[in-house]
């Protein structure tokens, strides 16, 4: 098996789940997005072709309907890119943000996951499956496998009347799908792909493997 040369970025809070095998699904925005009248995508000879749902012959696509190239391949191995600590010179590894606070007693730099080199990585994954889907077309099982869990929404409390007639704010319990929607907006909303837009994404299933 060849050594992974491409990385895949994960946020620090998801790293422990990936390493333990609890997180096995990730969704990445399709770039460029299919046209607004795209009904669904299907595998074609030269990539993923889209249809508006009205075309009977799925193998027929006008020239302006170019196939989308998926950046993920089943069986491909990648190393996890995560935020890490290095020395001031940047040529050695001092730790990972997902594990602990900053290193003590030494000068250090916080290094972006975007620029993490392969030699500093500690986790590798193998892609098991890939499919295109709108961000909102996700099951509760896939949301859980993406690292999302039920949570109490303290930012949007509801007013509840107690038996004595007093009204108190109460944080409602939200499910994994609500947590996934919040995670999606946190990662992609400011980049122009908000949850409400029903963006298309590559839904990737993976497993951790030995280096």
- What is the predicted pLDDT for the residue at 123? 96
* Residues in Cβ contact with 100 at an 8 Å cutoff, skipping those fewer than 6 apart: none
Q: Is pLDDT of 115 > 70?
A: yes
* Three-state DSSP class for residue 57: coil
Better pLDDT: 17 or 101: 17
* Residues in Cβ contact with 133 at an 8 Å cutoff, skipping those fewer than 6 apart: 27, 200, 201, 203
- DSSP character for 53? S
- What is the predicted pLDDT for the residue at 58? 47
Provide mean pLDDT across the span 121-133.
95
Better pLDDT: 139 or 32: 139
What pLDDT band is residue 22 in, cutting at 50, 70 and 90? very high
Question: How many of the other CB atoms lie within 10 Å of CB of 105?
Answer: 5
pTM above the 0.85 mark? Answer: no
Q: Is pLDDT of 103 > 70?
A: yes
Q: Is pLDDT of 16 > 90?
A: yes
- What is the predicted pLDDT for the residue at 2? 58
Q: Where are the alpha helices (DSSP H) in 108-175?
A: 140-145
Q: Is pLDDT of 161 > 80?
A: no
Provide mean pLDDT across the span 4-20.
93
Provide mean pLDDT across the span 177-182.
94
Rounded Cα distance, 177 and 62, in Å = 37
- What is the predicted pLDDT for the residue at 62? 45
What pLDDT band is residue 63 in, cutting at 50, 70 and 90? very low
Q: Quick one: CA dihedral 26, 96, 153, 188, positive or negative?
A: negative
């Amino acid at each position: 098996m060849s050594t992974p040369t491409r990385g895949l970025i994960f946020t620090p809070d998801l790293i422990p789940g990936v390493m333990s095998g609890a997180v096995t699904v990730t969704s990445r925005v399709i770039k460029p997005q299919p046209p607004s009248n795209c009904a669904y995508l299907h595998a074609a000879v030269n990539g993923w072709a889209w249809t508006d749902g009205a075309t009977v012959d799925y193998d027929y696509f006008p020239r302006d309907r170019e196939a989308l190239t998926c950046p993920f391949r089943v069986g491909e191995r990648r190393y996890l890119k995560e935020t890490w600590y290095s020395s001031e010179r940047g040529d050695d590894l001092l730790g990972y943000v997902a594990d602990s606070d900053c290193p003590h007693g030494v000068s250090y730099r916080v290094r972006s996951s975007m620029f993490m080199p392969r030699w500093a990585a500690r986790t590798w994954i193998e892609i098991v499956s890939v499919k295109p889907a709108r961000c909102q077309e996700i099951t509760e099982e896939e949301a859980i496998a993406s690292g999302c869990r039920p949570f109490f929404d303290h930012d949007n409390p509801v007013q509840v009347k107690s038996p004595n007639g007093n009204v108190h704010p109460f944080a409602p319990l939200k499910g994994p799908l609500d947590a996934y929607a919040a995670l999606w907006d946190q990662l992609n909303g400011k980049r122009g792909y908000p949850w409400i837009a029903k963006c298309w994404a590559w839904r990737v299933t993976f497993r951790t493997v030995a280096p």
